[in-house]
Amino acid sequence: MIRVLQDTPFSPAADIPADVRKECTELGDELPRAIVRANRSVTLVSTPTALTEKTGRYLSVEITKIEAHGGGAFTGPKHMKVRGVLIENGREIADFEAKRGTMAAAGTCTTLQKAEKDLGADIGVWLTNPKPHAHLGD
């Protein structure tokens, strides 16, 4: 089993518009669920302590950038970037950067949730054969 945190955090250095941080309070919730749907070897954990236990595998994922100009569906494409590191028994064995964009759905938050679902599917597939320095998504 591969442990993944049930809520994807923002990187401390994440480039995210203030209005998106304020309005899209559920960002980071859908990505882990999408990873689980795409890969049955993944289990969600609720705390960083449970994630980083010394033995076994875990995937640390964080949101690094969100591009969302304006506040509605008709203000152009929205993009989300994430970064992840796969750890096995305390040692990094693979990592990735991923980006997905979309123009679907109604508002900015819903559109970004679609990007999360797509990214989660990409990551779930990558976990079946993880490689260092992978680029996923668009």
pLDDT digit string (tens) for 42-91?
999 998 988 888 789 999 999 999 988 655 545 667 889 999 999 999 89
pTM over 0.85: yes
Contacts of 131 (CB under 8 A, 6+ apart): 94
Containing structural domain, residue 12: 2-137
Which two tokens mark 103?
């123009």
Give the domain CATH number at 16. Answer: 3.40.50
Count how many domains the chain has.
1
Asked if residues 3 and 45 have their Cβ atoms less than 8 Å apart, the reply is yes
Among residues 113, 118, 86, the alpha carbon closest in space to that of 99 is found at 118
Among residues 62, 64, 86, the alpha carbon closest in space to that of 134 is found at 86
